[in-house]
Structure 1
C-alpha cells in the first residue's frame, strides 16, 4: 500500500485499503484476521452499495445506522467455493456478533489512521475518530445451555449419509472434542500423517498473532480419535478452499443434525464449549488447567511462567478425563446427563 498523492481523507477508499490489508494479513499467515476483515469489507460494500467508500463516510452517525442494519435479517450475494455468485439470507447479528464485527471495523479504521497519519511529523490526514463517540455494544454473559453428556453421545452415535455435510459435521465435532476443542480452522490445517504421530503440535490460528508464545499447544491423539484423524487430516484443505467454506458446511451440517436429534441451536463450537464446561464443572479441574487445555493461556505472560518448565501432562489428564466421562454410564454423571 502507498499513501503517495493522498492529500485529504476524502481520497482514501476504505474498501480498497481493506482489500490490500487483507492480502497483507494472508501473507503474514494470519488467515483468521484476514477473514474477519473480509467480512467487514464485504458488509460495507453491501451497506453502501458501492466499492468506493471514502474513510470520511465512517462517522459516528453512520455507525449507529450501520448497527441497525447489521442487526436486521438481510440478503447478501457472495461467491461460492467455485467462484460463482449466489444469494443467501443472513440473520441479524446478536450482541456478541455485533461487538466482534464493530471491533474489527474499528481495527480497520485504526489501520487507516496509522498508515496515513504521522503524529511525529504532524501529518494528520484522517482527522476524525468516530469510535470516540460511538461505543461498542457490551457483550452479555453467554446463557446458551452447554451440551450434555447425552447430547454429545448422541452426536457421536449419529449415523449420517456417507459424504454428506451431516457426516462431516458429526465427525469433526467429535474430533474437535477428542482434541480438546480444536477449532475448525486448525482441523482444516492438519497435515497428512503417514506415520501416525502420537501428538499434534500446532499454533492456534485464532490467537497466534496476539500471543508471545504464538498460541502453541501439543495435544495427544487418543486411540478413540485415530480413525477420524486419519480420515480427515490432510484432506480437508483439498475439499475446502478456505476455512470459511468449511465453516459454512459445518454450520449447515450441525443444524441438520440438531433437527434430526431434536437438539436446539446446535453449533460446531459447542464441542469446544463442552470441553471447557465438563473439564471444570464435572471433572473439577482448576480454571487454569481448563484454560491450558483450551489453549487460552499464554505461557509467557507471567513471571511465574519463567520458573515453571513446560509440560503437556495436564492437558493429557484433562483429555483423558473427558473421554472417560463420554464412555461412562449416564448415571455416574447426573449433573451433565
Structure 2
C-alpha cells in the first residue's frame, strides 16, 4: 500500500533557521521523500517536530491529497511500479505546473557553460533584457512577435550606430549582431527545451518553439581584411622606431611590425597561439589552435616550419627560459592584452602606410588570399593550412595522420612570392 505523510526532519535545518516540509512516501516497505515549497520555523512545530501551525498543516494536507489523486490513476495494483517509478511520475507532474523563467535559466546556463564564445550569449541576453525592459520572462511568452520586435530593435540600434560612425568618418563594421544575438537566443531556448522536456516520460513543459516559423537573418560576410603582397613587404621593410641612443624601442609599434610578419610567415598563426605555444623542435612549431581546439577530435593540431625569413624573429623573441617558444607571456599578462597591444601598433603602421584599419587578422586573411589568387594553391590546401574544420571530411580525418608537408610547401611558395627567393635562403 502506498502512503503519504508530511514530515519535518530535525537534522535538516537550513542556514537561515528554516526547515523544509517533506512528503514521505512509503510503498512495499521502501521509503522516499519529496521536497515541497513549504518552509517552517521552530515556532511552527511541536517539540516532537510535528506541524502545529494551521496554515502549514492545511498546505501540506493539500499536497498529500494531490499526490494521492495522481497515484490513484496509476493503478498500482495492476502495474508493476517501483517506488522510484512513482516518485519520478510525481516529480514530473510537479514540474508541469512550474513556471520557467527564460532569462533566469539563460543566466544560469551561461554561468555554468564552458564553451568558447560564451560572452556572446551574455551580450545577447543583456540586449534582450534591455529590449524587454525586465529581467523576467516566462518561457511561454517568448513568441514570434517578441522575436520580431527584438529583431526590429536591433536593426534600429544598428542604423543609429551607422549614422553616428558616418558623422565621425569611421569605418562601418559588418552587421553580425542581429544574426548573432537571435542565434544565441535560439540556442538558449533549445537548451531550456533539453533541460525541461522529458520525452521518455511524456513530460513536456515546453511544447512549442517560436523559432519553427521565425527565420533568423543570415550573417553578413565578414569584412575582407586581406592586404597586398606589396603592402606586406612594406611592413617588413619598415624601419623600427628607435630611442634617443639609436637602439630599437620596446614598444607596440615595433612589436606589431614583427608579430604581423611572424603571423604571416607562420601561415596566419593567431596571437593567442603565438602567446601560448610551447613546442619547437627542429625548426617546427607544433601547437593546438586555441580558437577551435575544444571543437576538434585532433585538438586542432598544427605543425608549421619556421622558414629562413622568420628565423631572426624567432630568435629575437625566443623564450630563454624554455617554458614556451616565444617570450610574449613574460611581458603581457593575457593573450587578450597581447593582441590589443599588437593591434594598437598596427593602427600606427596603417596610418604611415595608408592602409585603412590595419589589424592583426589581416596577416591570416592575406596569406589565404595570396595563396589562392597569386600563387595558385588549391582551396583545399589553403583550407587545411588555415586549420579549418572540414565537415565533409570529418570521418575520413579520423583515419588520417597529418604530416603537414603539403601545407608547409604551400607556405614556402607564398613567402617566396611576397619576399622573393633571396630572402628564403
Residues 289 and 300 in structure 2, CA contact (< 8 A), matched pair in contact too = yes
Residue 165 of structure 2 is matched in structure 1 by none
Alignment match, 1:148: 228
| 1:67 is the counterpart of 2:148 | no
| Pairing 1:9–2:97 present | no
Provide the residue aligned with 1:226 in structure 2: 311
In structure 1, the partner of 2:261 is 174
Distance verdict in 2 for CA 1:327–1:73, change over 3 Å: same
State whether structure 2 residue 112 is matched by structure 1 residue 21.
yes
**Which has more radius of gyration?**
2
Answering whether residue 410 of structure 2 is matched by residue 322 of structure 1, we say: no
Q: Determine which of 173, 197, 218 is the counterpart of 1:138.
A: 218
Q: Secondary structure of 1:124's partner?
A: coil
The answer for the alignment partner of 2:67 in structure 1 is none
Query: What pairs with 1:245-256 in structure 2 (closer than 5 Å)?
Result: 245-256=337-348
- Who is 1:279 aligned against? 371
Choose which of 184, 206, 212 in structure 1 pairs with 2:291. Answer: 206
| Structure 2 SS opposite 1:13 | helix
> Residues 248 and 200 of structure 1: is their aligned pair in 2 closer, same or farther, counting only changes over 3 Å?
same
* Stretches (4+) displaced over 6 A: none
- Taking only aligned residues, the RMSD between alpha carbons, in angstroms, comes to 3.7
Q: Following the alignment from structure 1 to structure 2, what is the Cα–Cα distance between the partners of residues 11 and 299?
A: 32
Q: Could you give the per-residue CA deviations for residues 279-333 of structure 1, whole angstroms, max 9, x where no partner exists?
A: 111111111111111112549936665776532211111111112122229xxxx
Other structure's SS at 1:218 match: strand
Question: Residues of 2 paired with 1:285 and 1:271: CA distance?
Answer: 17
Contact 1:15 1:52 in 2 (8 A): no
Decide whether the 8 Å contact of 2:128 with 2:150 is kept in 1: no
TM-score after normalising by structure 1: 0.72
SS of residue in 2 equivalent to 1:200: strand
Q: 1:252 to 1:202 in 2, by over 3 A?
A: same
Q: Deviations over 1:261-284 (max 9, x none)?
A: 111132221111111111111111
Query: What secondary structure sits across from 1:9 in the alignment?
Result: coil
Aligned partner of 1:114 among 182, 185, 194: 194
8 Å Cα contact 2:371/2:410 also seen in 1 = yes
TM-score relative to the length of structure 2: 0.59
**Residues 197, 204 of structure 2: 8 Å contact kept:** yes
SS of aligned partner of 1:301: helix
| CA–CA separation in structure 1 for the residues paired with 2:185 and 2:121 | 6
Cα distance in structure 1, aligned partners of 2:127 and 2:277 = 34
Structure 1, unpaired ranges of 5+: 26-32, 75-89, 330-337
Higher relative contact order (CA 8 A, sep 6+): 1
1:165 paired residue among 230, 252, 266: 252
Count of matched residue positions in the alignment of Structure 1 and Structure 2: 299
1:48 corresponds to? 129
Q: For residues 238-282 of structure 1, give each alpha carbon's deviation from its aligned partner in whole angstroms, at most 9, with x where no partner exists.
A: 544444444443443333321221111322211111111111111
- The alpha-carbon deviation at position 208 of structure 1 amounts to 2.7
The whole-number CA distance in structure 2 between the counterparts of 1:229 and 1:62 is: 53
